[in-house]
Structure 1
Amino acid sequence: MPTQTENLNVLAFDHMPSPDEVKARVPLTDRAAAAVVAGRKAVMDILDRKDARVFVVVGPCSIHDPVAGLDYARRLKALADEVSDVLLLVMRVYFEKPRTSTGWKGFINDPFMDDSFRIDVGMERARKFLLDVCELGLPTATEALDPIAPQYYGDLIAWTAIGARTSESQTHREMASGLSTPVGFKNATDGDLEVAINAILSAGSPHSFLGINSQGQSAVTRTRGNRYGHVVLRGGGGRPNYDTVSVSLAEQALAKARLAKNIVVDCSHANSWKKPEYQPLVMKDVMHQIREGNQSIVGLMIESNLEAGNQPIPADLSQLKYGCSVTDACVDWATTEDMIRKSAAVLREVLPKQERRA
């Protein structure tokens, strides 16, 4: 027998349905498609300065309970309608969680939260959840982590983030160049902004790379480039970067790279020292900058859930607290409403008076 030289550390190859098979079981509806198209156009118009509103990506750090997630979505839709004159609310729907070492990798990877890793089940349930949210008329946002996953549910997403750990990744820059949504690239975990700017430049160009098609077959994917890349400031390197000086430096860096001065501020992560109770202070500061004439901040991100804080995943899942994050800590729904309504009040005073330009 010849010496085996491949798959030495692989235990099994389990069957995974193709994107077409999953979409056939959870088909896109006309109502959901309309919400996706409208959400994408609204974000693009904001980035192009055709729409003076500010978009806010708000929702749970991660989805682990679709029932609680849909409860949140219904509340958010009502709030979105209330502030739609000045704010575009996009629900944060994150199914994949990057890990520094180990931990729960998200609803797609482990939907039963028991290390069974039924990715086939998780992918279909994730798509169904997105469909339910879109059918409410609410646009959705997610983080693109696995380069194959967008083939399964990308038709239900209005805005995509590339995380701090992956903005420097060639694989994710190539993937972003072919996504159908605007893409926000976060600065690196050490606070470096150049990584995100280089990512925008890269993703804006055509690429050819190895991927899969809708039948699940290996394919050479050829993209036209995505012109709606932009920066997300999330802090890093032991300090926040949402302050006036940091935003001004980001504007200068974008101008030097001949990129549109489009900046999204993440109220969570290092900008709030990973303390959810600081997120309202970050948002208040950003609204103050807009009130004082800032024209580059086009969006914000908030980690929010029905209940405040977070919780460990118990051995007995029936003990999980309803509507409480199992990953990063979040602000609760009452705080979320207050943040959004106060920001809307500020913008109603300011937006009609400002000429917003690229």
Structure 2
Amino acid sequence: MSFEFLKKLPTPTEIKAAYPLSEEFAKIKRERDEEIAKIFKGESNKFIVIIGPCSADNEEAVLDYTTRLAKIQDKIKDKILIIPRVYTNKPRTTGIGYKGMLHQPNPEEKSDLYGGLVAIRKMHIDIIKETGLTPADEMLYPENYWYLEDVLSYVAVGARSVENQEHRLVSSGIDVPVGMKNPTSGDFSVMLNSVVAAQSKQTFIYRTNEVTTNGNALTHCILRGAVNKHGQNNPNYHYEDIVRLYNMYKARELQNPAVIIDANHSNSGKQYKEQVRICKEVLHNCKYNPNIRELVKGVMIESYIEEGAQKVGEGIYGKSITDACLGWNQSEELLYEIADRLI
């Protein structure tokens, strides 16, 4: 075998003991989780906006950005619930390149998985402490979820992971909403099959234990666009797409039908400024069709302090080192406009 076992890493229990979430901030998270759950259950008409950088590469900049979000949240809290997007794992199509803070707490240095585990847990906790907002992260590695399970209010499963059995089964035991993205092929049935699996009771092996779960009734869909066999982007945020998903949901009789619209990725063709237009179209469709408003619980936006993207090592504070993002001024304006356009 070509595996070289470098070191044994601390267990989630050990990391949590070293970097605990206090009861004060655990209470904030419980209250936020309850408010988010009410939206997905249809008990609240608030609109969710999951917003933040493509990858959370620097705690100082991410905290700065999230503090700005918290100030806006106070002003639009009657209509919008903001969940900061704090993604610490970055899936790579080729497996090469910056893989997120978990792998490289300093993007300009070599991989340090122990340092990464500490850095990502500390950053999530610091965001709760400093802003009162509770974050979202992508579950790229299901076994690693337990390091963060007490600090996250939203979990996303990516387009390349959504068909994976372990992602589906682990999602069935998560206590907060889990968004299942459509696969890169765009097949809605694959996404809905993942929702079925995650909403169902399951028994499986997890972290060397035999476990059972009750199913996660808050598992839902995320539409992020698709790529066809020619490598061309096919958006799926349009009116007809959402109506189709609404009808497919009804046929499945799933709990809490819901979708989040990802305004970037293949929906925008990674043209980050298009996110503004896409959000406006989604809101127009919500206003036009009550079934769409019932199904669409929110949008997902890639945004940071500085617009665009840079290469690792360029050193521009608050600018993405992965996918290009909206800048702060555009993001602030968009959040207020979303609030103004809501029914």
TM-score scaled by structure 1? 0.90
SS at match of 2:236: coil
For 1:304, the equivalent position in structure 2 comes to 303
> 1:154 is matched by which residue type in structure 2?
E
SS at match of 2:325: coil
For 2:230, the equivalent position in structure 1 comes to none
Query: Which ranges in structure 2 are unaligned for 5 or more consecutive residues?
Result: 228-232
For 2:212, the equivalent position in structure 1 comes to 222
The alpha carbon displacement at 1:114 in A equals: 4.4
For 1:106, the equivalent position in structure 2 comes to 100
Q: Which of residues 116, 140, 144 is equivalent to 1:145?
A: 140
SS at match of 1:300: strand
Residues 150-208 of structure 1: CA deviation (Å, up to 9, x unaligned): 11111000011111111111010011011121111001111111111000000111222
Q: Could you tell me whether the CA contact under 8 Å between 2:309 and 2:325 is conserved in 1? A: yes
For 1:165, the equivalent position in structure 2 comes to 160
Larger radius of gyration: 1
> 1:54 is matched by which residue type in structure 2?
F
SS at match of 1:98: coil
Q: Return 230-239 or 254-263, whichever deviates more.
A: 254-263
Aligned pairs (5 A) from 1:21-170? 21-101=14-94, 102-114=96-108, 116-135=110-129, 136-170=131-165
Q: Quick one: distance in 1 between partners of 2:106 and 2:303?
A: 22
> 1:118 is matched by which residue type in structure 2?
D
For 1:330, the equivalent position in structure 2 comes to 325
Q: Could you tell me whether the CA contact under 8 Å between 1:107 and 1:122 is conserved in 2? A: yes
Q: Return 286-295 or 77-86, whichever deviates more.
A: 286-295
Query: Which ranges in structure 1 are unaligned for 5 or more consecutive residues?
Result: 1-7, 213-217, 351-358
For 1:284, the equivalent position in structure 2 comes to 280
CA RMSD of superposed structures (Å): 1.2
Q: Could you tell me whether the CA contact under 8 Å between 1:188 and 1:195 is conserved in 2? A: yes
Q: Quick one: distance in 2 between partners of 1:177 and 1:243?
A: 29
For 1:4, the equivalent position in structure 2 comes to none
Q: Could you tell me whether the CA contact under 8 Å between 2:108 and 2:312 is conserved in 1? A: no
Q: Could you tell me whether the CA contact under 8 Å between 1:60 and 1:92 is conserved in 2? A: yes
Q: Could you tell me whether the CA contact under 8 Å between 2:201 and 2:212 is conserved in 1? A: yes
The alpha carbon displacement at 1:35 in A equals: 2.5
Q: Could you tell me whether the CA contact under 8 Å between 1:165 and 1:189 is conserved in 2? A: yes
Residues 320-342 of structure 1: CA deviation (Å, up to 9, x unaligned): 11000011110001111111101
Q: Could you tell me whether the CA contact under 8 Å between 1:31 and 1:137 is conserved in 2? A: no
Aligned pairs (5 A) from 1:170-249? 170-212=165-207, 218-237=208-227, 238-249=233-244
For 1:5, the equivalent position in structure 2 comes to none
The alpha carbon displacement at 1:115 in A equals: 5.8
